Structure formats: structure tokens, C-alpha cells
Amino acid sequence: MNIGQHLEAARADLGGALRDCPGAHPGLEAEILMAEALETPRSFLYAHPELEMPPARGQAYRAMVERRMRGEPIAYITGTREFWSLTFRVTPEVLVPRPETELLVETALERLAGSAPGRIADLGTGSGAIACALASERRGDEVTGTDISYDALEIARANAGDLGLHNTRFVHGSWCAPLDGSYQCIVSNPPYIAAGDPHLDHGDCRFEPRTALTPGGDGLAPFHTIARDARGHLSEGGWLLFEHGNDQGEAVRDILTAQGYERVETCQDLERRDRVTLGLRGRS
């Protein structure tokens, strides 16, 4: 079979298998996996659809297509995901970075704009996507990522190394526990899906680490813990920013207000859903 025939078969198979899979793009994914199998850019496929696939490459391609047909995230199959225009390694030990998390990075950068170089912390860093995005934009800052997963920290360190981000460090421990000294900004995209939420059994979530997705209960426990403990690590005028579920904006605002944060507000995504809530550590 040639490249074009393989692609056509994969598009049809993926289209059928991923019919109910949120966010799946069968045509595009067939091409991404082909580019991976042939180790070429996608543009090569458009230029050479008539090229015969070497049998070993054809088999490798079909194996990848079949993994995707079973619902495995494409990022785990290719081993990479783009975030903030940077390429990150991802493995099943880490959450696949989501495009919507770029709103957290964007909001943090807005709050930091014009400030002198300082220290930033990313709690629950996973692949290190947020920490590396911030470190790449704020080269003068020191960015610390924390996680309870040693496997995740290893991936985060590898990503920072690949990206040449020497202004990062990744430390083990629960939320704020490994932090030392004070920070001008603390960000977190913690696990926040409530126990029993049907999203946990759909799409990519089925393959991702449970501890990255849900803290159990109503999903709010990490916001309570971090909001309480981060105050002691933020410098005066420092910001705490959370990503949260689109139905959790009010609850997270209440948590930050109850902990004495000031100028508490929520940012919405392009579909006007609450996604990021932040508060300032004032004088008191």
C-alpha cells in the first residue's frame, strides 16, 4: 500500500472508532501518526501520496492507528504535545497539557508584566508545561515546579533540559511543602474533577493518571489547601492563580476571599466560561 491508501484507510477507521470521542480529529490524527511513522514533516505526505510504504513502517503505522482507535491519547502515542508553542515530552505518567491551560500562563504573565525578576512556583507541575512556558517568557525569573509524582518530576526536568530552560528547578512534595523563601507568583492547575464526574470515564481522561485528574470529593480540596498555605510563601503584592473547572469559579473565589486574598477575580475563556481565578496577597 502507498501513503495515500494507508491514510485513507486510517481516516475511515479512526472516524468510526472515535465517533463519540470529544476533541478527536480523525483526518488530522491519521496524518500526524503517519508523519510520526515515517519520521517526516506532514507536508511530505501531501507531496508524495503515491510512495509505497516499506512494510515495517506500514505495520508500525497500523499499530499506532489501532492504539488510537482504542482511545489512547494521541500525545501518548507520539510521545509529544505542543503547549505555548513549545514541544513537550509526555508519557502516561503525566497529564497531557491542555490548550485551555494557556489562559493560566497568559494571565500570570499579565500580572507579572513590568515586575523585576523574581521567583515563581507552579504547584502540581506534571510535564512541566506551565513552569517551562513561564520560564521561557521570564528568563530572569527562577521557576520552581512541585509535584507528588517522582515520575512526573523526571519528565518535567527532561522537558526543561530539552528546552534549555536553566532557570527552572523541580522539587518533590505536596503543594507548597517543598517551597522555600518567598515568591512573587504562585500558579496551579491542580486535579479538580469531582469524584464520580462522568468526564473521568471519557476521552483522554481514561488513560491519564487519576491523581492528576481528581482529588476525590467535590474536587475543591487542593484549592483550600493551596490557598491557605500559599499566603505564607507569597511576597506582598504577589499573586496566586488557579485553573479550575468551568463550574468552580464561584467556589474558588469564595475560598480565596475567605483566606484574605484581595482583588479576587475570575478570567473566562473564549467561550465565556470561568477558567482561571486569582487573588493578590495584600499587606495583612
Ligand X SMILES: C[S@@+](CC[C@H](N)C(=O)[O-])C[C@H]1O[C@@H](n2cnc3c(N)ncnc32)[C@H](O)[C@@H]1O
Q: Residue 216, annotated ligand binder? A: no
* Least CB distance to ligand X at residue 90 (A): 9
Q: Which is nearer to ligand X, 26 or 190 (CB)?
A: 190
Could you say whether residue 255 binds ligand X (CB under 6 A)?
no
**Least spacing, CB of residue 149 vs ligand X, in Å:** 4
Answer yes or no whether residue 84 interacts with ligand X by CB under 6 A.
Answer: no
Query: Which range touches ligand X (CB under 6 A), out of 6-14, 16-24, 189-197, 267-275?
Result: 189-197
Tell me: does residue 248 bind ligand X (CB under 6 A): no
The angle subtended at Cα 110 by Cα 80 and Cα 176, nearest 5°, is 65
Q: What are phi and psi of 147, to 5 degrees?
A: -160, 155
Within the chain, residue ranges assigned H as helices are: 3-17, 26-38, 42-47, 55-69, 74-78, 102-112, 129-137, 150-162, 210-213, 221-230, 249-258
Give the residue with the Cβ less far from ligand X, 125 or 248. Answer: 125
Q: Kindly state the helix (H) or strand (E) to which residue 188 belongs, with its residue range.
A: strand 183-188
Q: Give how far Cα 227 sits from Cα of 123, 133, 173, 175, Å.
A: 12, 23, 16, 10
Binding mask 196-235 for ligand X (x = CB under 6 A): ---------------xx-----------------------
Find the part of the chain contacting ligand X (CB under 6 A) among 24-32, 125-133, 197-205, 274-282: 125-133
For residue 258, the minimal CB distance to ligand X (Å) is 20
**Exposure b/e, 114-137, CB count within 10 A at least 16 = b:** eeeebbbbbbbbbbbbbbbbbbbe
Residue 174, interface with ligand X (CB under 6 A)?
yes
Question: Is 91 among the residues that bind ligand X (CB under 6 A)?
Answer: no
> Of 176, 163, 213, 168, which is closest to residue 191 (Cα–Cα)?
213
C-alpha to C-alpha distance for 240 and 227, rounded to whole angstroms: 8
Which region among 59-67, 120-128, 194-202, 270-278 touches ligand X (by CB under 6 A)? 120-128
Per CB under 6 A, the list member of 76, 175, 183, 242 interacting with ligand X is: 175
Minimum distance of ligand X from residue 65's CB (angstroms): 26
In the block, which residue shows the cell 479550575? Answer: 244
Known binding-site positions? 124-128, 147, 175, 189-192
